[in-house]
Chain A
């Protein structure tokens, strides 16, 4: 039995349930790094290459938190999850592709990194192959055991996806899935506004990175919708509304999610949360802005940065919420 470390960022917010269940079924212990704090960010800034974006720096900070506490760090090479886009070229952002290499080069005293290449373009069975490879890494070769763990993991992930589809945000959905919180404990509020918040999961769900955005919206009695509450069918159905999809998986999800909610009458406005120095977002943001205008939907871009200045973000969000309230009358 080994201790497997998983950083609480990037793909964590969407795909943790699968890998957590998989490793546990194989008899290992999963250790998640603590929630992002200033210290995690500072450490990440120290460790990572200078020109990386904030999320990548934060990832380094989370990895650092796991050193000395785990036997392995699970940092898969995230290449692609599906055949999608023009000529099937959709991948993760290039930095995800080089993630295991980046941490290996930048960081000292790193435990062995499980850097399985996750490229599911070839088809459905690919995920099982990825699981096999990951299990081999940990010395498990019994195909039947691996297959069972894979099945259990798939089930867990489906369960998670179902909770998200109910309109529950990932941090809370993870709590419900793990039994830390019960559904009936969630206070029901009558929302005064409905806002779609789109962007990368590691930007919009991490309470440190989003400078309290979701909390503030909740206080203002706003019901938040995100792209991750939509089914793949609902998301991919948006592809036809733009001349060309983007190259990057998470970017496509954000754009499709935005497009979906723009067409919904009950949604009062769209907020795009973007991280400073994100290359793909220079396109995502402009695309969402243009499309929002075309649909006559109020749109706000919020940029988060290292300096964690809450005031600027707060002023913008307050003004945006005010504006939406006046529009409703």
Chain B
């Protein structure tokens, strides 16, 4: 049996599961759509990873990250729960030696992480604006009836990218429609959109940051070759897209788990076959004060094991 470490990254759009070995090599990876059902997605994904490598690998540590990291930590039995920024930085540092800038664009957020000498020195996340994230590209691809996988290739075929206002997703869309109605071809419009998104990213998330190479571009959106080209053009350097760009957060969580169990010497991992366990959540509105917090209760096989969502801490019982 080989020793492996499991990392689970559950974001708004995708759920990523990886198992790495002692050296950090990826043994198994899943990139799944969360579809608004984080618990079922993780259960199913973990089961399929177990079928693939369960009899060859023994999991010695588990880490979770992403916006559902606390919820999922209880389902899989995590040894460490970490925010996405730290997880992405850890993964990129392991894959690209001396990385100084990380561009990460996911389903509903985008971030920039600046590292110097292997240590995060600065970072930023998009605030109220989601223009340029995966969801918006998904929606536009859908509207143009182009599979999202081919979206980037269209951009690469463009000869004269048109100028599109990328400041806001709503304006970008109406601008795109306007350009279509004027008769510009689809390739030029898509390339223009990619450039607009890069401009928006740089002015929004990347504002005031010192971007030095090597620059790593990761997250689901890094699969889009049109955006990669647009970043190269804007920054004047070749951005590096790691092979496992879509699951870097999960790799980071697995690497962090490897560190975490070194100290504890044991794992809380519940096994791959958690499909059989019945996880359930319900919620109620607390009437204790006028905050009216929505308290979430989490059950494992009918037994209440965690509760969160209250501001005052009266109900809280969890791994947090």
Whether B121 contacts A327 by the Cβ 8 Å rule is yes
Given A289-B208, A315-B125, A316-B125, verify A208-B119 contact (CB < 8 Å). no
Whether A37 contacts B291 by the Cβ 8 Å rule is yes
Contact residues in A for B83 (Cβ distance below 8 Å): 314-315, 318-319, 322
Whether B120 contacts A38 by the Cβ 8 Å rule is no
Contact residues in A for B84 (Cβ distance below 8 Å): 315, 319
Provide the bound-state CA to CA distance between A311 and B12, in Å. Answer: 12
Q: Does B34 contact A (CB under 8 A)?
A: no
Helix, strand, loop or mixed for chain A's interface? helix
Shortest distance from the beta carbon of A76 to any chain B beta carbon, whole Å: 27
Shortest distance from the beta carbon of A214 to any chain B beta carbon, whole Å: 13
Contact residues in B for A290 (Cβ distance below 8 Å): 208
Provide the bound-state CA to CA distance between A215 and B3, in Å. Answer: 39
Provide the bound-state CA to CA distance between A314 and B121, in Å. Answer: 18
Whether B290 contacts A39 by the Cβ 8 Å rule is yes
Q: Does B85 contact A (CB under 8 A)?
A: yes
In the complex, residue of chain B having the shortest beta-carbon distance to the beta carbon of A307: B128
In the complex, residue of chain A having the shortest beta-carbon distance to the beta carbon of B309: A310
Interface residue range, chain A: 20 to 34
Contact residues in A for B291 (Cβ distance below 8 Å): 37-39, 208
Provide the bound-state CA to CA distance between A44 and B286, in Å. Answer: 21
Provide the bound-state CA to CA distance between A37 and B312, in Å. Answer: 11
Chain B interfacial residues counted at CB < 8 A: 21
Q: Does B145 contact A (CB under 8 A)?
A: no
Contact residues in A for B128 (Cβ distance below 8 Å): 276, 303, 305
Of residues 280 through 300 on chain B, the ones whose CB sits less than 8 Å from some CB of chain A are 289-293
Whether B119 contacts A326 by the Cβ 8 Å rule is yes
Whether B290 contacts A40 by the Cβ 8 Å rule is yes
Contact residues in B for A326 (Cβ distance below 8 Å): 119-120
Shortest distance from the beta carbon of B300 to any chain A beta carbon, whole Å: 23
Contact residues in A for B119 (Cβ distance below 8 Å): 323, 326-327
Q: Does B315 contact A (CB under 8 A)?
A: no
Whether B290 contacts A311 by the Cβ 8 Å rule is no
Q: Does B31 contact A (CB under 8 A)?
A: no
Provide the bound-state CA to CA distance between A38 and B122, in Å. Answer: 33
Contact residues in A for B48 (Cβ distance below 8 Å): none
Q: Does A298 contact B (CB under 8 A)?
A: yes
Residue among A39, A40, A315, A327 having the largest count of chain B Cβ atoms under 10 Å: A315
Of residues 286 through 329 on chain A, the ones whose CB sits less than 8 Å from some CB of chain B are 289-290, 293, 298-299, 303, 305, 311-312, 314-316, 318-320, 322-323, 326-327
Whether A322 contacts B120 by the Cβ 8 Å rule is yes
Provide the bound-state CA to CA distance between A298 and B125, in Å. Answer: 15
Contact residues in B for A303 (Cβ distance below 8 Å): 127-128
In the complex, residue of chain A having the shortest beta-carbon distance to the beta carbon of B84: A315
Contact residues in B for A323 (Cβ distance below 8 Å): 85-86, 119-121, 123
Provide the bound-state CA to CA distance between A276 and B121, in Å. Answer: 25
Whether B85 contacts A298 by the Cβ 8 Å rule is no
Interface string of A197-216 (1 = CB under 8 A from B): 00000000001100010000
Contact residues in A for B121 (Cβ distance below 8 Å): 298, 323, 327
Contact residues in A for B82 (Cβ distance below 8 Å): 318, 322
Shortest distance from the beta carbon of B129 to any chain A beta carbon, whole Å: 12
In the complex, residue of chain A having the shortest beta-carbon distance to the beta carbon of B320: A219
Whether B86 contacts A38 by the Cβ 8 Å rule is no
Shortest distance from the beta carbon of A124 to any chain B beta carbon, whole Å: 42
Q: Does B67 contact A (CB under 8 A)?
A: yes
Q: Does B266 contact A (CB under 8 A)?
A: no
In the complex, residue of chain B having the shortest beta-carbon distance to the beta carbon of A327: B119
Q: Does B233 contact A (CB under 8 A)?
A: no
Provide the bound-state CA to CA distance between A305 and B291, in Å. Answer: 16
Q: Does B311 contact A (CB under 8 A)?
A: yes
Given A315-B85, A315-B125, A326-B120, verify A208-B311 contact (CB < 8 Å). yes
Residue among B119, B122, B289, B293 having the largest count of chain A Cβ atoms under 10 Å: B122
Contact residues in B for A212 (Cβ distance below 8 Å): 311
Can you list 17 contacts pairing A with B, beta carbon distance less than 8 Å?
A37-B291, A38-B290, A38-B291, A39-B291, A40-B290, A289-B208, A298-B121, A315-B83, A316-B85, A318-B82, A319-B83, A319-B84, A319-B86, A319-B120, A320-B123, A323-B121, A327-B119
What 9 A-B pairs are tightest by C-beta distance, nearest first? A39-B290, A319-B85, A318-B83, A37-B290, A323-B120, A37-B291, A322-B86, A319-B83, A315-B83
Binding site for B on A (CB under 8 A): 37-40, 207-208, 212, 276, 289-290, 293, 298-299, 303, 305, 311-312, 314-316, 318-320, 322-323, 326-327
